[in-house]
Amino acid sequence: MFCTQSPDYPMPTTACIIQDVLKLSTQTACFDFNLGCSGYIYGLALGSALINGGISERVLLLCAETYSKYIARTDRTSRAIFGDGGAATILERSQGNEFIGPFVFGTDGSGKDKLIVHSSVGRNGIRENLPQCLVMDGAGVFMFTMKRVPECVHSLLQKANKTIDDIDFFVFHQASKIVIDNIIRILSLEDHKVFRGYEKIGNTVSASIPIALKQADEQHLLKKGDLIMLVGFGVGLSWGACLIQW
């Protein structure tokens, strides 16, 4: 499964190209799905469902974005925030007590214009009068985040029958410093329980959460058995969260 909003081509799906590059069996199911900052959470849910449903034994979940090709050279705001990046996660049935879930999701398509690339070969075709680059309403995305992320966190805690103190570590989508700072403030989280990994690589959209998990592991911030909350949010507007046991 390949999550991206910046594929190599409108068609075919990049997952089909990856199958050939990796020389995977032609009996492998391969598909793309188009989601941004919440994409990793959706991918974990889809992969888990395929395994739990007996459809797949193992899932390779890839998230990669090259947003830089959408950002105008004169756009000093977006160019300073976003970074290109990719991540690979293998999902398979646990032989121990580790788990993924439960999940919560949300969508508000009325906010589609908050973060958008208008020109495409889909609905609009290629039209010179449409912006060719990413357009972001930074203030609008920020206000959306401050409203929806705390709601999402509390909804997941309620669904899992947990309290916020039961969570050992939080990995939020690495949107920006100001976003993470304010999420911590609104939820009254302990700073040492929240990962920050945006300083060197920026906001890598769907790849940000798995990259952050890898960084946290390399920094020895995660212990076996830790209960970790993952929260993605952004373009769509879309959001999602889940629990994993490390």
Q: Which of 3, 63, 152, 173 is catalytic?
A: 173
Give the C-alpha separation, 210 to 15, whole Å: 18
Q: Is 220 considered catalytic here?
A: no
Q: Which of 3, 30, 152, 203 is catalytic?
A: 203
Tell me if residue 97 is catalytic: no
Do 63 and 39 form a contact (C-beta atoms < 8 A)?
A: yes
Query: Active site includes 192?
Result: no
Q: How far is CA 155 from CA 10, 121, 182, 231, 239, in A?
A: 36, 37, 19, 12, 12
Q: What is the DSSP letter of 110?
A: G
- 13, 182 contact by CB (below 8 A): no
- 243 and 157 Cβ atoms separated by less than 8 Å: no
Task: Please check whether residue 211 is in contact with residue 193, taking contact to mean a CB–CB distance below 8 angstroms.
Answer: no
What the block records as the tokens of 59 is 């899932």
Catalytic residue among 3, 30, 37, 152: 37
Candidates 239, 178, 230, 229; CA nearest to 203 is 178
Kindly give, in sequence order, each residue whose CB lies less than 8 Å from that of residue 14, ignoring residues fewer than 6 positions away. 2, 4, 7, 8, 32
186 Cβ contact partners less than 8 Å away, ≥ 6 residues apart: 146, 149, 150
* Active site members: 37, 173, 203
